[in-house]
């Protein structure tokens, strides 16, 4: 069988959205590599990788733009992958958005099967088309650690207490687990009285959550949260989660009033009864 025919069979298996057929196109110790899996995958793992993509994009398909042998037993294929995000992808809910990703594969053939696939594409393209942020930044510069943050708010009330949790994780897997458990806990807190807002920050190996409450008694609702209880049990288990952590609740020593700029006179003011000193109506932003 010609190398080009084997490459066509490989893409046909993808277009049938058949993980087992994809795996079967490889020799037993074959490998698949692309920018999302730079460590490389064996045949079975490649099938499971494809299964995850099909779950997120049930209509995923490859259009072959061009394909030709570029050396003994090697095929160069230029393609465009298309699909609609109608399923969960990387833990996120479906967006319903369509994606279009151009790329190229270099496919080495051996004994009428695939020896290796090395794929190239822009890793930012799909996240950006799904409406996700793609941020490139250093892990650390000097004493500064960089990361990401997430915010959710239910009300703009003045906070009467703030709780802080800090966890230091040991791996990417722990970082993902902490993120998943935190999200579940916050979704439950949104239904609790006294909850104002929540801010989650990750910088290096440290993960912070800052929660604003209406009063110092409101954080007690955490004890009623099944998700938070499960997370604490996981933290204290052996083997458990994270290298270490700390929690606390603070009440304001001095909380200054909210300043807001008046669009009419451009003065910074603390509005009384919703009005600036000039008499114009102003709307103060949320406290937290």
pLDDT per residue as tens digits for the range 165-188: 999 999 988 988 998 899 899 999
Bridge partners of residue 118, in order along the sequence: 33, 106
Of 106, 129, 152, which one is at a domain's C-terminal end?
Answer: 129
Q: Is 168 found in the same domain as 152?
A: yes
Based on the domain organization, do 106 and 164 belong to the same domain?
no
Task: Average the pLDDT over 225-241 and give the result.
Answer: 92
Q: In total, how many domains does the chain have?
A: 3
Q: What is the pLDDT of residues 66-113, one digit of tens each?
A: 999 998 899 999 999 999 999 988 778 899 999 999 999 999 999 999
Nearest to 203 by CA among 275, 277, 148, 254: 148
Residue 37 domain flag:
yes
Q: Is residue 135 part of a domain?
A: no
Same domain, 8 and 112: yes
- What CATH number does residue 58 fall under? 3.10.450.50
- Of all residues in the chain, the percent with pLDDT exceeding 90 is 73
| pLDDT digits 0-9 by tens, 125-142 | 999 999 887 777 787 888
Q: How far apart are the first and last CA of the chain?
A: 66
Does residue 255 register a pLDDT over 90?
A: no
pTM of the model: 0.64
Taking each helix axis from N to C terminus, what angle separates 172-189 and 226-236, rounded to the nearest 10 degrees?
150
pLDDT on residue 263: 92
The domain in which residue 53 lies consists of 3-129
């Amino acid at each position: 069988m010609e190398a080009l025919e084997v490459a066509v069979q490989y893409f046909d298996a993808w277009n049938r959205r058949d993980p087992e057929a994809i795996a079967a196109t490889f020799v037993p110790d074959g490998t698949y590599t692309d920018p999302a899996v730079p460590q490389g995958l064996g045949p079975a793992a490649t099938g499971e990788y494809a299964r995850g993509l099909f779950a997120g994009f049930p209509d995923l398909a490859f259009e072959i733009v061009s394909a030709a042998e570029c050396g003994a037993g090697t095929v160069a294929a230029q393609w465009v992958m298309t699909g609609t995000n109608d399923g969960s992808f990387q833990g996120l809910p479906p967006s319903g958005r369509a994606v279009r990703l151009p790329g190229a594969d270099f496919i080495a053939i051996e004994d009428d099967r695939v020896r290796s696939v090395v794929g190239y594409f822009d890793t930012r393209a799909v996240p950006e088309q799904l409406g996700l942020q793609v941020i490139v930044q250093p892990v650390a510069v000097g004493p500064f650690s960089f990361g990401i943050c997430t915010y959710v708010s239910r009300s703009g009330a003045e906070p009467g207490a703030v709780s802080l949790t800090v966890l230091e994780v040991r791996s990417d897997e722990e970082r993902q687990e902490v993120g998943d458990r935190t999200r579940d806990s916050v979704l439950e807190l949104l239904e609790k009285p006294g909850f104002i807002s929540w801010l989650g920050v990750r910088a290096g190996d440290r993960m912070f959550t800052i929660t604003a409450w209406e009063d110092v008694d409101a954080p007690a609702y955490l004890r009623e949260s099944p998700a938070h209880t499960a997370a604490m049990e996981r933290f204290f288990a052996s083997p458990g989660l994270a290298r270490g952590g700390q929690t606390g609740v603070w009440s304001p020593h001095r909380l200054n009033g909210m300043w807001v700029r008046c669009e009419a006179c451009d003065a910074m003011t603390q509005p009384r009864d919703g009005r600036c000193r000039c008499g114009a109506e102003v709307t103060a932003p949320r406290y937290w």
